[in-house]
Amino acid sequence: MTLDEIKNKLGSGLLSFPVTHFDDDHRFMPDAYAAHVEWLCQYDAAGLFVAGGTGEFFSLTPGEVIDVLKTAKQVAGDMPLVCGCGYGTQMAIDLAVAAEKNGADAILLLPHYLIQATQEGLYRHVKAVCDAIGIGVIIYNRDNSIIGADTVRRLADDCPNLIGFKDGSGKIQVVREICAKLDDRLVYIGGMPTAELYAEAYGAAGMTTYSSAIFNFLPTLALTFFNAVRDGDRATVERILKDFFYPYSDIRDRKAGYAVSIVKAGLTVIGRHAGPVRPPLTDLTKEELGMLEAIVAPHV
């Protein structure tokens, strides 16, 4: 795909992040992961982000990131694959180069590790990664990496392969300014935890689409909600929010890190077990799993 083609494809529909399958000793299970990606590809997503946040990128070694990508590539057909990359600049470059070599259509540049940085430092970090590869790059605003509108504009001018901006910060004023100043230069992706809760607000701010974690275990519900948001079907949006997403978020908010753990728990509930989360995350308790099952069951 050309850069414009991948940008337009990702903006055409719902996106998702497959979880990464581990056995009880926290080893990557390629066969189980491949089966999951193959199942997801039966549904109408616009692209899959492999080894992303929901895929526990933080816990994967660089070699495992590429193993995850290669496994997905074997079964994904023509589904666009965006590979997670990040950490320090040189590690991000190495991952990005390896991702391009192994068939990624684009990369998602997750926040650098730990430290705060100036806008000039963030510019240099992103530009170095963009300059190292020819495939598309999507930057991700969250936590310690908040790139301002003027810096995004500068990067867009200097990096032809910068194709997207994803936000997980919730800083709506920054999001609005970036969307307004860059217009159709980028694809804009909502990336808050349980992005459906923010879909209407982010859409009004100019975001093109969003990534759905629940697509992992309730793809039909995820697509129904996405289409209702795009069609302005407020009645359907409100019904699904009240019946599913609000009680779901109540469980998610019980403990730190549950935004990922609850997705793997959802797969357990529907009989498609993805294994445990890796430390320092923890899995849902039996009580919480039962609570989740009660709200998932009507939608299976």
Domain ranges of the chain: 3-219
| Among the four given CATH numbers 3.40.50.800, 3.20.20.70, 3.40.1160.10, 1.20.1600.10, the one describing domain 3-219 | 3.20.20.70
CA 191 to chain centre: 6
Tokens 């510019």 map to which residue?
123
Taking Cα atoms as reference points, which of 157, 211, 159 lies closest to residue 181?
A: 157
Task: State residue 171's pLDDT score.
Answer: 95
User: Three-state SS for 254?
Assistant: coil
Taking Cα atoms as reference points, which of 195, 189, 203 lies closest to residue 231?
A: 203
Low-confidence ranges of the chain (pLDDT < 50): none
pLDDT in tens, 53-67: 999 999 999 999 999
List beta partners, residue 142: 145
Residue 165 makes CB contacts below 8 A (sequence gap 6+) with 138, 139, 141, 152, 178, 182, 186, 187, 188, 189
Task: State residue 103's pLDDT score.
Answer: 98
Residue 72 makes CB contacts below 8 A (sequence gap 6+) with 18, 33, 34, 37, 48, 50, 81
Residue 216 makes CB contacts below 8 A (sequence gap 6+) with 16, 17, 18, 19, 36, 40, 54, 263, 266, 267
Residues identified as active-site: 140, 166
Task: State residue 149's pLDDT score.
Answer: 98
H or E stretch including 265? helix 258-269
63 contacts 27 by C-beta, under 8 angstroms:
no
User: What φ, ψ does residue 141 adopt, rounded to 5°?
Assistant: -85, 120
Task: State residue 5's pLDDT score.
Answer: 98
Q: Quote the CA–CA distance of 174 and 67 in Å, as a whole number.
A: 35
Q: Give the number of other CB atoms < 10 A from CB of residue 250.
A: 11
54 assigned ligand-binding residue: yes
H or E stretch including 109? strand 106-109
Task: State residue 157's pLDDT score.
Answer: 99
